[in-house]
Structure 1
Amino acid sequence: MASYQAPRRDYQFILNELLNIYEETELRGFDEIDAELSDAILQGVADFATDIMLPLNCRGDIEGCQLLDGNVIAPKGFKDAYQQYVENGWGTLTCDPEFGGQGLPEVIGVFATEMKTATNMAFAMYPGLTHGAYAAIHAHGSDELKQKYLAKLVTGEWTGTMNLTESHAGTDLALLRTKAQHVGEGLFAISGEKIFISSGDHDLADNILHLVLARLPDAPEGVKGISLFAVPKFLVNTDGSLGKLNTLCATGLEHKMGIHGNSTCVMHFDGAIGELVGDAHQGLRAMFTMMNQARLMVGVQALGVSEIAYQNALIYAKDRIQGRGLSGVKAPEMAADPILVHGDVRRMLMSQKSFNEGARAMMGQQALWLDKAERHHNPEQAELASKFAALFTPIVKGFVTDRGFNACVDAQQVFGGHGYIHEWGMEQFVRDIRISMIYEGTNGVQALDLVGRKILFDKGATLFNWSELVKQFIGANVNNELMKPYIAGLMDASSDLEQATQFIVNHSETNPDILGAASMPYMQIFGITALAWMWARTASVALSALETATLEVDFYQGKLKTAQFYMNYWVVQTRSLRQQLDMSSIQLTQFEVSDF
């Protein structure tokens, strides 16, 4: 079984020093937390994830879920573990205290999510999707709907799902056919079939609340005619008790590449009774609240699995002996040297490490923007933070999952043939994390969203505001000799991003097809630049710590070494990606169908 050590020191660094969240006095509720409380909470999650969730990961993968007599049964041990999860209150961390939540900032919750997904991604998806359902109803539901469902979703006594996809309509929701018919008293009958529904049915909780996209009879064509409905597995009585089984069921379980411990269902709704969430024909607005929450979770999944894969690859590289170092024997007392002495093994491991730590810092920044959007006393600052979070959502989901998957493949490669064997756990990590590049909007869609909605829609205003933050940081540090390696890398990446953006803008009106052809390399350039910004900020904090005669010299020097490697190994890729974007995008639009 794979091992795992929660990166709590890195969490402390990001929360206490890099983001300095305890000085965010303008954010509601931040005055109620301190470093000691945050660390205690994250330690508790780490213990639960390591002691309870991790031992079930391989078992869930082997056993999978079963559909028996119309009911889905989770792998052995999952139900007991989930009950412990609920009893410990781990699902309540960032939820509204009005409904039983602890009201903690998202910037703390995101790291709790990382640990859970690192140790058992399939298990973590059950409460993860529940939190998304909570967020959608909390933001858009009526008071009656909130009172009916939120407290149970917060505790985890009931779970939630998201029902978008139909067999003929994936990303193109304008094609969906599921119908909703008003049957009086604010109730609707929902009929249709949805596929790929994560956690669609299971035996972990007493009830499951499905958020379902469907069309009312008077709905206009296209996505503007979609409404969102809350459809419970068991109807809820006026006193809050459970009533009869609703007319919905799981008719099949998908046979998947990975995440076998999570129930991915085909869901059939046959006049199932539900209630409207938000306004009629405004379902996508409500659903995107859930999807944006889910996209952050998916990015964190990639980081979490990449981290556990890296940790085990590093242990293996220190233990496995094979060959001798090219410059001479490094371990004369052994028959061969540990493979960590070999340059290519070091390349793979340091590539993973620099990605993981940079992505973790960016996840913290994204979560803090979300907190500011919700909690800042200044409406203008809240709006700006919301725009930054929207801009970075495709980076968090698309770039991080692309590179997180590659990192898992590198970790598997370190193991050689053993990485291909199930007992080591590495091939499961690769299989599990592959879905992160596909669900909640494929990464191609994320790249197009970045270019079309996030860059061109507001004519680059939000990108300009973020670029100003980067330029201000560069200006404040450019004359610091010790910062030069990090500032130089950030300046190179920023320059390539600026030129790539100009290419997009110049061609957006004359040949819109280029946007699709250029969007993926553009997202990669943006992602590498975003992490370069985080690493340059990390280097600045580490240098300041070393100047104060810290007792943790090795930790901060390690940050500086990793930051410099990131600039030398990752940032240089932005130049070739920009050339790829410039030289191939136009050509891609000129091919004929017969050329493929």
Structure 2
Amino acid sequence: MPAYKAPLRDFDFVLNELIKVQDVIPALPGYQEATQDIYTSYLEAAAQFCENELAPLNRPGDEEGCHFDAATHNVTTPAGFKEAYAQYCELGFPALDCDPAYGGQGMPKSLAFPVMEMQCSANVAWSMYPGLSHGAYSAIHAHGSEEQKATYLPKLVSGEWTGTMCLTEPHCGTDLGLLKSKAEPNGDGSYSITGTKIFISAGEHDMSANIIHLVLARLPDAPKDVKGISLFIVPKFHDDGSRNSVYCGALEHKMGIKANATAVINLDGAKGWLIGEPNKGLSCMFTMMNAARLGCGMQGLGIGEASFQGALAYAKERLQMRALNGVHSPDKPADPIIVHPDVRRMLLTQKAYTEAGRALTTLLALQLDIEEKHPDSAARQDAADLVALLTPVAKAFMTDNGYTAANMGMQVFGGHGFIREWGMEQLVRDCRISQIYEGTNGIQAIDLLGRKVLLDQGQKLRKFTKQIHKFCQTNEGNDKLAEFVGPLSKLLKEVGDITMAVGMAAFKDKDEAGAAATDYLRLIGHLTYAWMWARMAEVAYAKLGQGEDDFYQAKITTARFYYAKLLPEVEALKATIKNGAKPLMSLGEEQFAC
């Protein structure tokens, strides 16, 4: 596939024209130096690294995969991965948005997120190694003791050490209440931890001097359910250089992300240290889990962008048949396939989903910055509520759309897309896992509807929808935006009505919430993207006639496509939600086999 090029112009549009991070960031304590020039220089450096170092390793890494030595329990990453990671650390990227107290650069999340997207586009399997490390950093930073922070954070921030999160067990995936790993007190403040963890991304490799595993396990007197889970730091190597009893037992043979070491991790009396309070490990781990869920959304976004770039370049070059309305390229034996409506449908779907996803992630990144740094507690809470509400949407909606985009990119290539050497089928395989791990998209839907909407009687949802309502009110008389504001306002009201109806039905029968959840999340996703596109069209109209008219007109035209061709999906979603749980729950278990 064609070489990846970072969409720097679109990053600039979203950051500085749409979300306007510079109206907020310099006023937040600690971010005074994060000027637009700083953002630009970091993004340009990240683009250069991702385009020139990571992207060329993507397909070879997929072909080679990781190597497991059963005798030593060691894993070797594909050729070039270790060297790229060393360069990444030398450039200072692991420290980008980390606490300066531990060697971090203290930059905002709204700068770190575009860097993450570029990594996911260029080489998603490689990006998971530093991605998991940042999650471990976040959990220890939020919940570790001062001694633990001083011990582990500087090495994680520098990239000298990497991290993992060890949750899943062979019999225990989403339902962590079934977790069996045990932690026995050693009498010296440490614990002896025994158990088996599976599906551990970046669980063993040769890219760093040490790997810091964050492990969920049960204390001897712990309650049996999720209330009895504790979190422990379990390093691969101790301070004296001796090996801890935590080993890779095998590598999973996977559909995609083959260059990331997805490991079975065996703990045989491994020495670990408790993070936070006993039996409170799940809340500690969710600090890492929520970051990972946003990271999954970034994977869907990044892969969608990579697939779009490949498909667009191919569609401009590949000659097949003539345009339906006549010859497009008379000097050629056939026309490029971009003239065909169905190819344009696929390309525009990729473009519309990707650019709206970029707008959403930038909005969420800024809210994370506000939540962390804003001096006003009410502003921090509002930001936290918006992030909590939209994190499952970002994870599920963006990965579903990313997978759709990846499949469409492969389809644009026709038969060549099915062939490995073109690179498009790898994007499909790599993207598929993003809909599964860190809580399946079905779990995200239940989280959104059950916890984030119904549990607080819609308080978080109302805060969000008020922002959309305010936008619609402000632009009520704007003739240019009427084609967007009218449908958006209508959908906003319908979401309120549907939420109320689902809530009342679920009060009588909880299966009603489960039956509605996946469609409801997609409905909220479309509401969010429709709002993003209406806002992008507003900015684009204001910029017409000031230069770059092609860029801004493309935004308006893509917004029209989204409203005309993608947003109508909400009609089907509304119907399926209203049809309730009965069509799903009426078939007896024994009847499935008939």
Q: Same fold (TM over 0.5)?
A: yes
> 1:17 maps to which residue?
17
> 1:249 maps to which residue?
247
Rounded to whole Å, the distance in 2 between the matches of 1:585 and 1:178 is 36
> 2:78 maps to which residue?
75
DSSP 3-state at the match of 2:507? coil
1:585: how far off? 3.1
> 2:562 maps to which residue?
566
1:573: how far off? 1.0
Please state if 1:111 is matched with 2:107: no
Rounded to whole Å, the distance in 2 between the matches of 1:376 and 1:591 is 52
Gapped runs of 5+ residues in structure 1?
Answer: 238-242
Deviation per CA, 1:281-316: give whole Å up to 9, x if none. Answer: 000111000000001111001100110100010000
Deviation per CA, 1:406-450: give whole Å up to 9, x if none. Answer: 111011000000000001100000000100000000001000111
Rounded to whole Å, the distance in 2 between the matches of 1:387 and 1:181 is 38
DSSP 3-state at the match of 1:208? strand
1:4: how far off? 0.9
Rounded to whole Å, the distance in 1 between the matches of 2:23 and 2:400 is 34
> 2:429 maps to which residue?
431
> 1:121 maps to which residue?
124
Equivalent AA in structure 2 for residue 559 of structure 1: K
- The answer on whether the counterparts of 1:321 and 1:337 sit within 8 Å (CA) in structure 2 is yes
> 1:393 maps to which residue?
391
- The answer on whether the counterparts of 1:22 and 1:31 sit within 8 Å (CA) in structure 2 is no
- The answer on whether the counterparts of 2:77 and 2:207 sit within 8 Å (CA) in structure 1 is yes
Please state if 1:551 is matched with 2:551: no
- The answer on whether the counterparts of 2:163 and 2:211 sit within 8 Å (CA) in structure 1 is yes
Equivalent AA in structure 2 for residue 104 of structure 1: M
> 1:468 maps to which residue?
466
> 2:208 maps to which residue?
205
- The answer on whether the counterparts of 1:60 and 1:75 sit within 8 Å (CA) in structure 2 is yes
Q: Percent identity?
A: 48
- The answer on whether the counterparts of 1:173 and 1:223 sit within 8 Å (CA) in structure 2 is yes
Deviation per CA, 1:90-118: give whole Å up to 9, x if none. Answer: 11111111111111110110000000010
Which of 480, 483, 505 is the aligned partner of 1:482?
480
1:593: how far off? 1.6
DSSP 3-state at the match of 1:333? coil
Deviation per CA, 1:12-61: give whole Å up to 9, x if none. Answer: 11111111111115422332112111011001001001111111111110
1:369: how far off? 1.0
Equivalent AA in structure 2 for residue 555 of structure 1: F
DSSP 3-state at the match of 2:180? coil
Deviation per CA, 1:108-150: give whole Å up to 9, x if none. Answer: 1000000001000010100000000000000000000000000
TM-score scaled to structure 2, two decimals?
0.98
DSSP 3-state at the match of 1:509? helix
Please state if 1:443 is matched with 2:441: yes
> 1:227 maps to which residue?
230
Please state if 1:150 is matched with 2:146: no
TM-score scaled to structure 1, two decimals?
0.97
1:497: how far off? 2.0
> 2:199 maps to which residue?
196
Deviation per CA, 1:561-589: give whole Å up to 9, x if none. Answer: 11111111121111111101112533213
> 2:454 maps to which residue?
456
Instruction: Please give the residue correspondences for 1:276-295 in structure 2 after superposition, counting only pairs within 5 Å.
Output: 276-295=274-293
DSSP 3-state at the match of 2:238? strand
1:151: how far off? 0.6
- The answer on whether the counterparts of 1:489 and 1:571 sit within 8 Å (CA) in structure 2 is no
Please state if 1:496 is matched with 2:494: yes
Equivalent AA in structure 2 for residue 22 of structure 1: Q
1:351: how far off? 0.7
1:478: how far off? 1.1
- The answer on whether the counterparts of 2:31 and 2:106 sit within 8 Å (CA) in structure 1 is no
> 2:185 maps to which residue?
182
Rounded to whole Å, the distance in 1 between the matches of 2:441 and 2:492 is 22
> 2:298 maps to which residue?
300
> 2:63 maps to which residue?
62
Rounded to whole Å, the distance in 1 between the matches of 2:582 and 2:28 is 46
Please state if 1:587 is matched with 2:583: yes
Equivalent AA in structure 2 for residue 73 of structure 1: T
> 2:400 maps to which residue?
402
Deviation per CA, 1:514-541: give whole Å up to 9, x if none. Answer: 1111111111101011011111111111
> 1:240 maps to which residue?
none
- The answer on whether the counterparts of 1:496 and 1:525 sit within 8 Å (CA) in structure 2 is no
1:503: how far off? 2.4
- The answer on whether the counterparts of 1:227 and 1:283 sit within 8 Å (CA) in structure 2 is yes
Rounded to whole Å, the distance in 1 between the matches of 2:565 and 2:31 is 37
Equivalent AA in structure 1 for residue 466 of structure 2: E
Equivalent AA in structure 2 for residue 106 of structure 1: K
Give the 3 Å change call, closer, same or farther, for CA 584–511 of structure 1 in structure 2. closer
Rounded to whole Å, the distance in 1 between the matches of 2:431 and 2:9 is 25
DSSP 3-state at the match of 1:268? strand
DSSP 3-state at the match of 2:186? strand
Please state if 1:3 is matched with 2:6: no
Please state if 1:370 is matched with 2:368: yes
DSSP 3-state at the match of 1:423? helix
Rounded to whole Å, the distance in 2 between the matches of 1:506 and 1:195 is 39
Equivalent AA in structure 1 for residue 364 of structure 2: Q
Equivalent AA in structure 2 for residue 280 of structure 1: P
1:595: how far off? 3.2
Aligned residues, how many?
Answer: 589
Equivalent AA in structure 1 for residue 7 of structure 2: P
Rounded to whole Å, the distance in 1 between the matches of 2:253 and 2:464 is 43
Which of 215, 220, 234 is the aligned partner of 1:217?
220
- The answer on whether the counterparts of 1:493 and 1:532 sit within 8 Å (CA) in structure 2 is no
1:203: how far off? 0.5
Rounded to whole Å, the distance in 1 between the matches of 2:393 and 2:405 is 16
1:592: how far off? 2.0
> 1:523 maps to which residue?
521
> 2:33 maps to which residue?
32
- The answer on whether the counterparts of 1:134 and 1:154 sit within 8 Å (CA) in structure 2 is yes
Equivalent AA in structure 2 for residue 575 of structure 1: E
Equivalent AA in structure 2 for residue 19 of structure 1: I
Rounded to whole Å, the distance in 2 between the matches of 1:148 and 1:447 is 38
Equivalent AA in structure 1 for residue 238 of structure 2: L
Gapped runs of 5+ residues in structure 2?
Answer: none
- The answer on whether the counterparts of 1:496 and 1:575 sit within 8 Å (CA) in structure 2 is no
Rounded to whole Å, the distance in 2 between the matches of 1:103 and 1:50 is 25
Equivalent AA in structure 2 for residue 400 of structure 1: M
Equivalent AA in structure 2 for residue 116 of structure 1: Q
Which of 335, 345, 348 is the aligned partner of 1:347?
345
Equivalent AA in structure 2 for residue 339 of structure 1: I
Rounded to whole Å, the distance in 1 between the matches of 2:27 and 2:461 is 24
- The answer on whether the counterparts of 1:186 and 1:275 sit within 8 Å (CA) in structure 2 is yes
Rounded to whole Å, the distance in 1 between the matches of 2:391 and 2:380 is 16
> 1:94 maps to which residue?
97
Rounded to whole Å, the distance in 2 between the matches of 1:432 and 1:12 is 27
